[in-house]
Amino acid sequence: PIIYYIDPATPKQWVPYLIAGVNDWNVAFEAAGWKNAIRGEEWPVDDPTMSLEDARFSVIRYLASPTQNAYGPNVHDPRSGEIIESHVGWYHNVMSLVHDWYQIQVGPVDPRARSIKYDEELMGDLIRFVSSHEVGHTLGLRHNMGASAQTPVEKLRDKEWLEENGHTISIMDYARFNYVAQPEDNIGKSGLYPRIGEYDKWAIEFGYKPSYIDDVKEDHLYWNKVIIDRLEKNPRLWFGGEGGNSDPRSQTEDLGDDSVKASDYGIMNLKRVVAAIPEWNAEEADMYKNVKRMYEGVISQFNRYSGHVGTNIGGRYVTQKSIEQPGPVYAPVPKEKQKAALDYFNRNVFTRPSWLVDLPYIYNITDQPDNYLHSVVNNVVSTSNLLNIAKLTRMGQFAQADPSNYKPEEYLSDLTSMIFSELDKRQAVDSYRRYLQRRFVSVALTVVNNKDNALTDGRALILAELKNIETRARKAKSSDSVTKTHWQSIAQQIEEGLHPSASIAGSNR
């Protein structure tokens, strides 16, 4: 069997959970026809013939470090691809990371999460999941960031379905914990934790089940057919890769097949968490350090949802195919999904998310709570999210191929209508919206003035929107003096941004 030894420096209470994380992979090997293929064992400290540094032995090393991480490399023979050994590393402070993830994502659902310190069983379970993921890497499995997208969002609230299937089909995704489940769903831990799923079983079969075909080309053709046939029968086994390719199905830290719905459910839980942070994280003599850390964790989680949703806008589906398979490799995200994503931002970001700062404890952790709200805006109204040139270029090319797709000019019109909705209505603009509008203008000017964008349609379209906003802002009327000054400032900001030399010359006259 493949044996992973546990570093004797490991705190004793965590050893059984690390061993369990290794042994969990047996279910995948058994599905591929191998029994008792893998196991974890304690290091034989009394055996003088063995060394932790010996390349003949695979080890899960314990690293006493403040680093919040773990890793799972392997050493393999480049001639054959055979994996020779691995030294998994887990840093002590990964426990802090999983603590915060768990409380922020499922605290409203699992009462055990509502504490600054977890009991041994809960923390052990979380360590087990981390070790199992890293062992998966050492066995040759890559991340599959598309795994969680194979679960319909509403099934993430279905107790019976989750107990049978889990919330993601692969432990090799960054699916973490089931933040979609609501308190009334009564989901147990089997529906909250990742576990070895059907994709993992399929990946182990592909990697470890022999074809008994000696010819390399014939072996390749055999497995190509197996993959095509298997995916045709079970599309859930789709491999989404490492993410980062503008495919909303393949993202880190996300759940479900609809990021808008999943994020809406996630926000419902974040509202519960942020209100309860002081109660759940009370610790004698703490100078609000715990509260601030967890609060900023909520902000980060909320920003992740914005990233997940934003990938739909100007996004594409990337479905790798062999030439024997029909259909395109690249396809646009449907227009209705992109518009739903924009509506999400209008509801949750363009409208002041007061639930994040209207809290009785907010002035115990900051004297400027609006800075947190500004960080939320900055995360969304940015060159990497809503004003990304690559998104606009992709939208334009997909719309050129099929005019029913979401056109970049239509998108920008929708976007500015939402952000500048008060402009023609003589409405007062609150401080949050004033910041949002100034941020939009600032980022739009950055895009327009970037020489690398000079030849793109996206730059021209954003420039047209800026000129339109400037014209309307100069004509805007308001009985509110701050709003009136704001519109004058917006017009001046655009003029100076587009014609900096002219504005400097004017100021010197």
pLDDT tens-digit map of 155-191: 999 999 999 999 999 999 999 999 999 999 999 999 9
- Is-contact 378 413, C-beta < 8 A? no
Find, among 275, 256, 278, the residue nearest to 266 by Cα: 256
Percentage of residues in the chain having pLDDT higher than 90: 96
Give residues with Cβ within 8 angstroms of 255, minimum separation 6: 148, 151, 153, 156, 167, 168, 175, 178, 179, 180, 262, 266
pLDDT, averaged across the chain: 97
Residue 105 pLDDT level (bands cut at 50, 70, 90): very high
CA 290 – CA 157 distance, rounded (Å): 30
388 pLDDT more than 60: yes
Q: What is the pLDDT of residue 500?
A: 81
- pLDDT for 261 equals 99
Dist. CA 449–CA 94, nearest whole Å: 42
Distance CA 258, CA 344 (A): 12
pLDDT band at 262 (very low <50, low <70, confident <90, very high): very high
Angle of the 481-498 helix axis to the 500-508 helix axis, nearest 10: 110
pLDDT surpassing 90 at residue 501: no
State the pLDDT at residue 180. Answer: 99
Q: Are strands 316-318 and 330-332 parallel, antiparallel or unpaired?
A: antiparallel
What's the per-residue H, E or C state across 83-136? EEECEEEEECCHHHHHHHHHHHHHCCCCHHHCCCCCCHHHHHHHHHHHHHHHHH
502, pLDDT greater than 60: no
| Distance (Å, whole) CA 281 – CA 42 | 34
Whether the predicted pLDDT of 503 surpasses 80: no
**Number of neighbouring beta carbons within 10 Å of residue 166:** 22
**Calpha distance 424→413 (Å, rounded):** 15
In 3D, which of 258, 255, 308 has the Cα closest to residue 148?
A: 255
- 């969990």: which residue's tokens? 24
Measure the CA dihedral 38/42/47/49, to 10°: 40
Pairing of the two strands 83-85 and 87-91: unpaired
The backbone torsions φ and ψ at residue 223, rounded to the nearest 5 degrees and listed phi first, read: -70, -30
- Say whether 300 sits in a helix, a strand or coil: helix
In the numeric block, which tokens belong to residue 367?
Answer: 């004297």
Report residue 426's pLDDT band, with 50, 70 and 90 as the boundaries. Answer: confident
Place of tokens 């992740």: 304
Do residues 370 and 432 touch, judged by C-beta distance below 8 A?
yes
Q: Where are the alpha helices (DSSP H) in 174-311?
A: 198-208, 216-233, 259-280, 289-310
What's the confidence (pLDDT) of residue 252? 98
Radius of gyration of the chain (CA): 26
507 pLDDT more than 60: no
pLDDT in tens, 277-336: 999 999 999 999 999 999 999 999 999 999 999 999 999 999 999 999 999 999 999 999
Q: How confident is the model at residue 80 (pLDDT cuts 50, 70, 90)?
A: confident
Q: What is the DSSP string of 304-372?
A: HHHHHHHTTTT-EEE----TTS-S-SEEEPPHHHHHHHHHHHHHHTSS--GGGT--TTGGGT-S-THHH
Q: How far apart are CA 140 and CA 312, in angstroms?
A: 30
Domain spans, the chain: 2-262, 312-348+381-508
Do you know the residue count of the chain? 509
Q: pLDDT > 70: what percent of the chain?
A: 98
Residue 36 Rama label (left phi>0; alpha psi -120 to 50; beta) = left
What pLDDT shows up at residue 509?
46
Averaged pLDDT, 466-476:
97
Cβ contact 72:86 at 8 Å? yes
Tokens of 170: 């692969």
Q: Is 486 helix (H, G, I), strand (E, B) or coil?
A: helix
Nearest-angstrom CA–CA distance, 372 and 132: 35
Pure H helices in 24-106: 26-31, 94-106
